[in-house]
Amino acid sequence: MISSVSRSLARSVRNGKRGIPSIVPGSRRGFVQPTRTERASVVDTPPSADLENKFTPRADMLGFKLEVPAKVQGTERPIYLDMQATTPLDPRVLDAMLPYYTDQYGNPHSRTHAYGWEAEAAVDEARKQVADLIGAESKDIVFTSGATESNNMIIKGVARFNKEKKNHIITTQTEHKCVLDSCRKLSEEGFEITYLPVQSNGVVDLNVLEAAIRPTTSLVSIMAVNNETGVIQPLKEIGTIVKKHRGVYFHTDAAQAVGKIPLDVNAMGIDLVSISGHKVYGPKGVGAAYVRRRPRVRLDPIISGGGQERGLRSGTLPSTLVVGLGEACRLARLEMKADHAHVSALSKRLIQGINSRIEHIVRNGDSNGYPGCVNLSFAYVEGESLLMALKDVALSSGSACTSASLEPSYVLRALGAAEDMAHSSLRFGIGRFTTEAEIDFVIEKIVAVVQRLRDMSPLWEMVQEGIDISTIDWGQTQH
């Protein structure tokens, strides 16, 4: 009976039948492919929306009909510009996942019946889809719970496997916190860690990198795209340097790069890659690690169990999530060029719109970085006050993993940003479903809020009067 109900529900969802209860009260968003006529009539903003309510992605891009404004329990939802924290699940990904929630729910490691066989086949297909996106062999892909686990597994695994002969690891000061904390954990175990500085544009100095490699170095771990600034590291050049030294492996945390910029592990000389599902319009709770087999990279697993995933990551694979990751990677491979053009145009629109109306703004990081990540510092404005005033826009002041801290961004400080400028930074994350209307709305909001906060700032008043506040001795007291 249960199986019959599940199959009936799955067919209803696939056939676009209505009447299924919504998870969010008050929301009626049907995942139904619009007709060609409906697609042709779609514009950036639904006719019912006004300037204060442009909070929904374009229906023709999402592939489903928008029936009501984006509200949850009567509350307007802010425009989402935090794509480095997470991306929305592409409805096409959800469509691929649904049968594995309802019908094809077998354990992919069960080899004695059809339920297991079909789940295993789906996992194998997803493995190929992930591999194709980075130019790898499907057998080199290991599924994990996300990029944090992949980073931990790779960094700790390679270091511990080689600890008898090599005890040195190289990384940079601007890595994601999970990489830095993995390295700190290893330093407590007796490993030597070199944290390379970066240049003012956020890019590592290749000469400094090469000089840091020792005979005892086992791993160089440098991220592909920075999660706070969008800085793209020269992966191919780094791979060339690392390959000069036998027994040294090159790992890149590509959570912010996969599906956004072209990656080819062979052409770039990369041995190990960390991938996140929810950063590429896939589901949360799943990721992958690329672990090269030829020549083979050896590492100690950090999870023990049934020996799944080549013995590197034991545990039953969540086949539904894996299918979602595979589909997200397939779509990213097909649409990367179009996505990049779309994001680039909106990024340019955002920067020009703000720069033309507000002065004393600094863009943090290399201007040639990934355009979907724009990090701006607004002088004479306190960052937390700026965020609090922007209730209509979902933004971040740094990494989503650390932005709850009141400390200035360690990434921006590593770039040489002054503490006050690091405190006044905002990260704008633009993605596949962001619209021009949303960008225009954000520009208006940013301009209004920054001007209002500056009008309340005594520092801004002094600057307007022509006073060079950098010459003031703030430690001097009056009696």
Strand 373-378 and strand 425-429: the pairing is antiparallel
Please indicate whether residue 373 is annotated as part of the active site. Answer: no
- Whole-number Å distance between alpha carbons of 381 and 459: 9
Residue 121, number of CB atoms within 10 A of its CB: 13
CB 271 within 8 A of CB 251: yes
Residue 61, number of CB atoms within 10 A of its CB: 16
Distance of CA 217 to the CA centre of its chain: 29
Choosing from 183, 329, 373, 401, the catalytic residue is 401
- Whole-number Å distance between alpha carbons of 479 and 476: 10
Burial 350-389 (b: 16+ CB within 10 A, else e): bbebbeeebeebebbbbeebbbbbbbbbbbbbebebbbeb
Q: Which helix or strand (DSSP H or E) is residue 91 part of?
A: helix 91-102
- End-to-end alpha-carbon separation of the chain, Å? 85
Cα–Cα–Cα angle for 380, 383, 384, nearest 5°? Answer: 135
Distances (CA, A) of 443 to 50, 346, 364, 450: 16, 11, 18, 11
CB 398 within 8 A of CB 427: yes
All residues at 6 or more sequence positions from 112 whose CB lies less than 8 Å from its CB, including other chains: none
- Whole-number Å distance between alpha carbons of 78 and 56: 9
Burial 35-52 (b: 16+ CB within 10 A, else e): eeeeeeebebbbeebeee
- Residues serving a catalytic function are 401
